[in-house]
Structure 1
Amino acid sequence: MKRAAGIVVSLVIGALSFGVMAVQEVQKDKIKEMNLTKIGTISTSDTTAPMDARAELVKKAEELGGKYYVITSADQPGKDIRATADVYK
């Protein structure tokens, strides 16, 4: 029973890790050398932590079908954090 639970936990963690790594942030100067094609621009709603903003950008980039994103702007007016990124294939 413990072994089965361990296997299930490992599979769930592996699936979550794969999802997180599906879209990668790249630096703007790498776009040309990687021969990437821009497929859209995304932005976050108001978030309160940088990690939340990054997670929202990754989710939106995945929804667009992108493999990479480049953060083009970030701002922190007051308590909220806002970010914009270009998405590439």
Structure 2
Amino acid sequence: MKKLLLTAVLLATSYSAFSADMISAQEAKHFKLVSAGNISVSSSGGQISSPSDLHAALSKLADEKGAKYYTIISAREHGNNFEAVAKTYK
């Protein structure tokens, strides 16, 4: 059982090392995470065509800021366009 738990923890940490994870504002507050600033994405270039693309774009931008986590402050879809603003955390 201990080996299974250790393997699960190692896999989770190795995955998160490659991309920032979305968390809730309550989790950020609970764990007293340090803000790394805000990021925003928009599909005006046509690269974001679904909510999963939106999350991938936010994760990539958070990574570029050196952040491990992000919380979505606002998001909307209008027509086939998606946009969002998120707060990042280290």
**TM superposition score category, shorter chain reference:** 0.7 to 0.9
Q: Which runs of 5+ in 1 are unaligned?
A: 1-13
Instruction: Provide the alpha-carbon RMSD of the alignment.
Output: 2.0
TM-score (norm 1): 0.73
Number of the residue aligned with 2:29 = 32
Where does 1:1-89 land on structure 2 (aligned, <5 Å)? 18=15, 22-46=19-43, 47-89=48-90
Question: Match of 2:62, SS?
Answer: helix
Distance in structure 2 (CA, Å) of the matches to 1:73 and 1:67: 19
Q: How many residues align?
A: 74
Larger radius of gyration: 1
What 5-or-longer segments of structure 2 have no aligned partner? Answer: 1-10
Change (3 A) 1:38 1:53: same
Return the structure number with greater strand share.
Answer: 2
Deviation at 1:84, TM superposition (A): 1.1
**Cα offset, 1:22, TM superposition:** 3.3
CA–CA separation in structure 2 for the residues paired with 1:55 and 1:77: 19
